[in-house]
Structure 1
Amino acid sequence: MNTFITGGPGFVGSALIKRLLLENLGLTVAVLPGEDAGHLPVAVGRVTVEPLSEFSDYATSLQNVDCVIHLAARVHVMQETATDPLQEFRKVNLYGTERLARQAAKAGVKRFVFMSTIGVNGDNSGDKPYIEGDVVHPHNHYSVSKYEAEVALRQISIETGMEVVIIRAPLVYGPGNPGNFLSLLRIVSKSFPLPLASISNKRSLIYIGNLVDALATCATHPAAAGQTFLVSDGEDVSTPELIRRTASALGVPVRLFPVPSSIIHLAGKLIGKSPAVNRLTGSLMVDSTKIRRELGWKPPFTMEEGLRETAIWFKNNR
């Protein structure tokens, strides 16, 4: 099976390529002009493409491709300067995805696997884990654009017969991870005292090795066609427990002390960090029963194993 991957040089894409090579699949990776792809295995084909947009032309690159795994996206922007941020997200995540999918269908691609986000469901699950059938509550520009892309892809599938598979994932962690989890590693590694001991939330995560295994399964399993799947490690942890486990993996002491959550939220509001505080204190649980039941998928790594591998990478690269 010939597989075309967008976003291949990135965090998830690099790990996915290594996983798919185990399946002896023919792989071609879309690389942007000037993008560093030197770390990709030599067995992987590369094609230079223009940035994804409603005007992108990937038609030639999609010839003789059986499956597209679409990872490329405009992700969270820390200091957004665009006049219309939602429109900027839509240019890539909606219009670019729709353009790519229509060109893929026209080229005869059989399956299109789309990396979405649990943010489509919402940003706080409360006491009940999110499932695929929930009413969606995308909570920011990124998740709105991802949901709109999901809707567009389902319509394209109806019109063309190309199989579409959608995966929604929570926070991804693992060797090489950027973003929020890397920030957590840096803070925990210094054993700073943290006022988080009283938080009693529950959050789902997914280790990069588990995510790419799920993506590989969705690319190849016949029963995945037309489905949306939520994925996670299958173990929900509170913020204090995650910090303790991360500290243990790093081999450093952990220093947590209790502060009422109302005080934490007030402090977050005063310094303009309410969204970050909400992520630390709120619950976001994911029920991955569907993919386990319908595809027989099981995460190949435990959270303990994932944190250990992440800690080894962090200590070797800081």
Structure 2
Amino acid sequence: MNLENKTLLITGIDEFIGWRAAELAIAKGMKVKGLQSSAVKDKQAQALGVEVIVGNLNDAKTVQKACQGVDIVLHTAQIAQESGAIKEFREINVEGTINLAKAAKSAGVKTFVHLSSILVYGFNYSDRVSESEPLADETNPYCKTKIEAEQALLPLNNPADFGVIIIRAGDVYGPGCIPWVVRPVHFMRQKLFAYASDEHGIINHVYVDNLIDAIFLAVEKETYGEIFNITDGEQTSWKEYFTRLAEISGSPAPMSLGKEEIKLFLKLRVQGQKLFRKKADILPESIDFMTRPYACSIAKAQNLLNYSPKIGLEAGLQITKEWLEKTDIQNLMK
């Protein structure tokens, strides 16, 4: 499929990944529509040349309107917290996804790309885990609902009419990223950040542009019904990543503590915040997300898509450093 002049609908366009996807799609000569849950960034999106629709994924009229005249849907909107009520996760991550997919199919959309996550493998998967290996929800609402969304979407795949592609993204970082850039730097600057000393695992980082390159390759090659792990393909330890992040942000070097010690500290922090009626700024469950053990395999994407990450960790961190130098991240933490 030639992407030039195609109309792309991006959900969650007001978020980190959706926004960068819009910029890169427009640079490729695509027309972009954006669906977002609030009007916060609509003027910026319109200035970029995006047609903005504000509304909820579960509102039938909103998604029907958003899908009209669209060739490709890139669905990035999700609840991506480490914990919370399963009902709230399911409402957006599963029900909203299927509502959107059915509206897209009804509107004649030919390609539906769903942004999933390598967290469908859980927190303790095998080394070089591939797309064919078992999934594990770990009783975590994010992991669980990302699995449920995939399982509900795949039966809708019908390449002659409506093609579904699933992208299991790694730990996406870059300018604007909250979980892997903004939040760690925020706590490093307060000398409150620690990585787990008793865990020697790997962060499956993927620079945001590399992820979007892979998505466009999958659409161009019309790989309908396929699932792809997408990371930078590097074996970077959690210690190395967070140490480098501290360096580029001018933050104190992160501390090293036992996993259970960090969890206990965060539990006490959350209890204290509740006492003062403050929203928890980091949950104990986040440590499970930051202590996963191994690198995922990207062999399938390399073989079927000719995917080759163009931006390595050093280059990606340098771009992120330049963004941090001109950004007040405190506003992003509110």
Question: What TM-score comes out, normalization by structure 2 length?
Answer: 0.82
**Letter in structure 2 aligned against 1:152:** A
Match in the other structure for 1:313: 323
The question of whether the paired residues in 2 share the 8 Å contact of 1:6 and 1:69 is answered with: yes
Shift of residue 138 of structure 1?
A: 2.0
Structure 2 unmatched ranges of 5 or more? 1-5, 268-282, 329-334
Once the two structures are superposed, residues 216-272 of structure 1 have per-residue CA deviations (whole angstroms, 9 ceiling, x without a partner) of 2223223x2211001111112112211232234335663656x6x4xx424524653
Residues 1-318 of structure 1 mapped to structure 2, 5 A cutoff: 1-40=6-45, 42=47, 44-53=49-58, 55=60, 57-76=62-81, 80=84, 85-126=85-126, 128-139=127-138, 140-158=140-158, 161-189=161-189, 199-222=199-222, 224-250=223-249, 254=253, 261=258, 264-266=259-261, 268-269=263-264, 271-272=266-267, 275-318=285-328
Structure 1 unmatched ranges of 5 or more? none
Distance 1:188-1:274 versus aligned 2 partners, 3 A rule: closer
Distance 1:151-1:158 versus aligned 2 partners, 3 A rule: farther
The question of whether the paired residues in 2 share the 8 Å contact of 1:199 and 1:238 is answered with: no
Q: Report the aligned-residue RMSD.
A: 2.7
Distance 1:36-1:232 versus aligned 2 partners, 3 A rule: same
- What is the alpha-carbon distance in structure 2 between the residues aligned to residue 114 and residue 184 of structure 1? 27
Question: What TM-score comes out, normalization by structure 1 length?
Answer: 0.86
- What is the alpha-carbon distance in structure 1 between the residues aligned to residue 217 and residue 303 of structure 2? 13
The question of whether the paired residues in 2 share the 8 Å contact of 1:199 and 1:240 is answered with: no
**Letter in structure 2 aligned against 1:179:** P
- What is the alpha-carbon distance in structure 2 between the residues aligned to residue 178 and residue 42 of structure 1? 24
Q: Identity rate of aligned residues, in percent?
A: 25
- What is the alpha-carbon distance in structure 2 between the residues aligned to residue 199 and residue 244 of structure 1? 15
Q: Alignment length, in residue pairs?
A: 307
- What is the alpha-carbon distance in structure 1 between the residues aligned to residue 184 and residue 299 of structure 2? 28
- What is the alpha-carbon distance in structure 2 between the residues aligned to residue 191 and residue 271 of structure 1? 14
Classify the secondary structure of the residue corresponding to 2:103.
Answer: helix
The question of whether the paired residues in 2 share the 8 Å contact of 1:56 and 1:99 is answered with: no
- What is the alpha-carbon distance in structure 1 between the residues aligned to residue 68 and residue 25 of structure 2? 20
Classify the secondary structure of the residue corresponding to 2:80.
Answer: coil
- What is the alpha-carbon distance in structure 2 between the residues aligned to residue 94 and residue 195 of structure 1? 32
